[in-house]
């Protein structure tokens, strides 16, 4: 029986895992579907390389030329692309895929911004830990 060999891991995936450590994020958080609110925040950044993302996010059906013909401002173009990606991919449009794609096209700052957004929201939605109460025989 032939020995199975793991596929090579590209640099973007390695950087993704180091970012998870740097921002103290759990990988499970990154497997969630990207929210519309987070796409809005990403569109406000300076992601100038978004035109390279369709092939990285497996949405070659999105035409960059069509997006550029429809809109004038760069912010609107990013907005149009990311929402179209989310609509096409549905629940497969995850933070993990987005962050790795951003790292792959050397948009490290935008990938870090997504991690910061995830970290902020994870902190906001954490519920306070209740103290453990131990039953005691005292006071009987």
Q: What is the CATH number of the domain that holds 97?
A: 1.10.533.10
- Res 19 pLDDT > 90: yes
In a domain, 115, yes or no: yes
pTM: 0.78
Return the structure tokens found at 79: 């907005």
Return the structure tokens found at 122: 């994870």
What range defines the domain where residue 96 resides?
11-120
- Res 130 pLDDT > 50: no
Residue 138: its pLDDT value, please?
Answer: 57
Residue 5: its pLDDT value, please?
Answer: 46
68 to each of 39, 86, 134, how far by Cα in Å? 18, 18, 64
In a domain, 136, yes or no: no
23-32 pLDDT, tens digit per residue, is 999 888 899 9
């Amino acid at each position: 029986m032939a020995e199975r060999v793991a596929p090579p891991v590209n640099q973007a995936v390695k950087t993704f895992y180091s970012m998870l450590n740097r921002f103290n994020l759990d990988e499970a958080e990154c497997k969630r579907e990207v929210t519309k609110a987070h796409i809005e925040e990403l569109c406000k950044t300076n992601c100038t390389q978004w035109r390279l993302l369709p092939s990285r996010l497996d949405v070659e059906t999105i035409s960059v030329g069509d997006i550029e013909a429809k809109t004038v401002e760069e912010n609107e173009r990013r907005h149009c692309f990311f929402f179209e990606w989310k609509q096409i991919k549905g629940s497969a449009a995850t933070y993990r895929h987005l962050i790795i794609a951003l790292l792959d096209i050397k948009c490290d700052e935008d990938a870090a911004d997504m991690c910061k957004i995830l970290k902020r929201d994870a902190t906001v939605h954490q519920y306070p830990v209740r103290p453990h109460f131990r039953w005691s025989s005292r006071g009987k």
